[in-house]
């Protein structure tokens, strides 16, 4: 057979390749065979001196040898590389677990806690919790809420306008949770039609809101909770009963003095602010002769209902909005709103709540 003389080389080389223990050893073998002055290379160089017929058969035999060695080298390389990777992964393994450090155990943030308490109280009154996007367009945030483009309320709210738009509507960071009223009513009207028999909407909307404002009582990001009740027979009496119950439950004081004061919001008519009795000097709530504004409310403006495809001659309802930071500061005697966002574990340990005692109405807050 032509090329029989190559067999010893082939066998020897195959054994050496199989036995190569490292990538370096394997590379040395490759160079010894196929490198510039390797054994196979040397044989190939001799081809030039042969007669044409001989050259052909010898060339074919050498090519088979070369291919089989190249394949063997590649296979061995793959095996060694895989082994090297496994070895590295094992050697470089880091123990990312840390021993428990009870001294930095976290707590439920007071803002989260207030939201849980609000949800528990309104949940007991059969309210559902709704959500909406932080990035709104100005139709939802303003126009649909009966705040036309020239209206001073747009300036009053220190709106963050984004360098973007939804269609041809400017995008804003929502300045209040009220746009979720619009989203909820539109969806309800879409599902049930303007003259649906069934009553209707009963939601709260806890969430993040944004205004360009920063001092001890304002933060550019803060939280509100919106409320909306729509039905065929909803009156101002429902509004009052609902919010009085809420505030008494939230502050855990059935005797908490409350005052409904006529006010103005574009999206309600009539509108009211609710004040609670407190002592301006001591900051104590419930006592003293001072009043502190705590939330805004009113009967949903007919224009707002109409904007959402709900017939104001058949339906009415009430809405309210409250600042979650404000409620939390009052309830727990926190004087500077910026502390909420400093992520100071010592502060959290003082004002936070145990994850093991969730907000539950029957246990009181
Ligand atoms: N959106 C108002 C604000 O941010 C708060 C508010 C007042 C909401 C009255 C309401 C409402 O739903 O009826 O200042």
Q: Is the CB of 320 under 6 A from ligand 1?
A: yes
Q: What is the per-residue pLDDT for 357?
A: 86
What is the mean predicted confidence (pLDDT) over 154-182? 89
Kindly state the tokens that stand for 286. Answer: 């419930």
How far is residue 175's CA from residue 159's CA, in Å, rounded to a whole number? 6
pLDDT bracket for residue 195 (50, 70, 90): low
Q: Does one domain contain both 131 and 23?
A: no
**Are residues 115 and 123 in contact, defined by beta-carbon separation less than 8 angstroms?**
no
Q: Is 129 helix (H, G, I), strand (E, B) or coil?
A: strand
**Are residues 200 and 238 in contact, defined by beta-carbon separation less than 8 angstroms?**
no
Q: Does one domain contain both 69 and 162?
A: no
- Ligand 1: centre distance to CA 139 (Å): 16
Q: Does one domain contain both 31 and 161?
A: no
**Are residues 253 and 245 in contact, defined by beta-carbon separation less than 8 angstroms?**
no
DSSP 100-113: --GGG---B-HHHH
Count of domains for the chain: 2
Q: Is the CB of 142 under 6 A from ligand 1?
A: no
Which residue puts its alpha carbon closest to atom 4 of ligand 1?
176
- Ligand 1: centre distance to CA 183 (Å): 15
Q: What is the per-residue pLDDT for 199?
A: 60
Q: Does one domain contain both 32 and 66?
A: yes
Q: Does one domain contain both 285 and 329?
A: yes
- Ligand 1: centre distance to CA 129 (Å): 17
Q: Does one domain contain both 42 and 158?
A: no
In CATH, what number is assigned to the domain containing residue 349? 3.30.930.10
Mutation to probe ligand 1, out of 178, 236, 325 (largest number of atoms < 8 A from CB): 178
Residue 101: inside a domain, yes or no? no
How is residue 22 annotated by DSSP?
A: S
What separation in angstroms does the CA of 173 have from each of 81, 176, 222? 53, 9, 12
pLDDT bracket for residue 2 (50, 70, 90): low
Q: What is the per-residue pLDDT for 280?
A: 87
Final residue before a domain boundary, out of 91, 119, 147: 91
Residue 308 has pLDDT above 90, yes or no: yes
Residue 157 has pLDDT above 80, yes or no: no
Q: Does one domain contain both 117 and 261?
A: yes
Residue 100: inside a domain, yes or no? no
Give the 3-state secondary structure percentages of the chain, helix then strand then coil, rounded to 5: 45, 20, 30
CA 59 from centroid of its chain's CA atoms: 67
In ligand 1, the atom with minimum distance to the C-alpha of 228 is: 12
Q: Does one domain contain both 202 and 66?
A: no
Q: What is the per-residue pLDDT for 263?
A: 97
What separation in angstroms does the CA of 67 have from each of 11, 60, 231? 14, 11, 84
Return the percentage of the chain with pLDDT > 90, whole number.
Answer: 74
Mutation to probe ligand 1, out of 205, 207, 265, 300 (largest number of atoms < 8 A from CB): 265
Q: Is the CB of 226 under 6 A from ligand 1?
A: yes
- Ligand 1: centre distance to CA 78 (Å): 68
Kindly state the tokens that stand for 282. Answer: 């001591």
By C-alpha distance, which of 230, 240, 225 is closest to 273?
240
| Structural domain boundaries enclosing 124 | 110-363
How far is residue 125's CA from residue 119's CA, in Å, rounded to a whole number? 10
Q: Does one domain contain both 168 and 248?
A: yes
pLDDT bracket for residue 365 (50, 70, 90): confident
Q: Is the CB of 298 under 6 A from ligand 1?
A: yes
Q: Is the CB of 146 under 6 A from ligand 1?
A: no
State the pTM of this model. Answer: 0.73
How far is residue 175's CA from residue 155's CA, in Å, rounded to a whole number? 11
Mutation to probe ligand 1, out of 302, 320, 325 (largest number of atoms < 8 A from CB): 320
Beta bridge partners of 6: none
Q: Does one domain contain both 262 and 305?
A: yes
- Ligand 1: centre distance to CA 170 (Å): 21
Which residue puts its alpha carbon closest to atom 5 of ligand 1?
321
In ligand 1, the atom with minimum distance to the C-alpha of 145 is: 1
Kindly state the tokens that stand for 141. Answer: 């945030």
Residue 104: inside a domain, yes or no? no
In ligand 1, the atom with minimum distance to the C-alpha of 300 is: 13
β-strand 290-300 against 268-278: which pairing, if any? antiparallel
Q: Does one domain contain both 213 and 75?
A: no
């Amino acid at each position: 057979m032509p090329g029989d003389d190559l067999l010893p080389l082939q066998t020897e080389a195959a054994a050496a390749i199989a036995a190569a223990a490292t990538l370096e050893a394997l590379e040395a073998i490759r160079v010894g065979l196929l490198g510039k002055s390797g054994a196979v290379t040397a044989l190939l160089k001799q081809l030039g001196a042969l007669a044409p017929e001989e050259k052909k058969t010898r060339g074919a035999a050498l090519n088979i040898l070369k291919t089989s060695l190249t394949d063997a080298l590649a296979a061995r390389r793959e095996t060694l590389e895989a082994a090297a990777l496994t070895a590295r992964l094992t050697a470089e393994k880091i123990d990312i677990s840390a021993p428990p450090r009870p001294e930095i155990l976290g707590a439920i943030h007071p803002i989260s806690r207030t939201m849980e308490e609000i949800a528990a109280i309104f949940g007991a009154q059969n309210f559902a919790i709704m959500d909406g996007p932080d990035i709104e367009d100005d139709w939802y945030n303003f126009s649909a809420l009966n705040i036309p483009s020239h209206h001073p309320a747009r300036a009053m709210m220190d709106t963050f306008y984004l360098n973007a738009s939804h269609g041809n509507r400017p995008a804003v960071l929502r300045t209040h949770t009220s746009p979720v009223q619009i989203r909820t009513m539109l969806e309800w009207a879409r599902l049930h039609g303007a003259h649906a028999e069934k009553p209707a909407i009963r939601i709260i909307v806890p969430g993040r809101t944004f205004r360009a404002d920063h001092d001890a009582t304002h933060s550019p990001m803060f939280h509100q909770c919106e409320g909306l009740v729509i039905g065929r027979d909803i009156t101002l009496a429902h509004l009052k009963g609902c919010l009085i119950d809420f505030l008494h439950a939230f502050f855990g004081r059935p005797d908490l003095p409350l005052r409904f004061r006529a006010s103005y919001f574009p999206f309600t008519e009539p509108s009211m602010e609710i004040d609670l009795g407190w002592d301006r000097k001591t900051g104590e709530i419930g006592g003293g002769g001072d009043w502190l504004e705590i939330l805004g409310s009113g009967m949903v403006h007919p224009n707002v209902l109409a904007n959402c495809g709900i017939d104001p001659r058949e339906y009415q309802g009430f809405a309210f909005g409250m600042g979650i930071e404000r409620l939390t500061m009052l309830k727990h005697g926190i004087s500077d709103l910026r502390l909420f966002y400093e992520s100071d574990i010592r502060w959290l340990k003082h004002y936070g709540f145990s994850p093991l005692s969730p907000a539950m109405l029957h246990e009181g807050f």
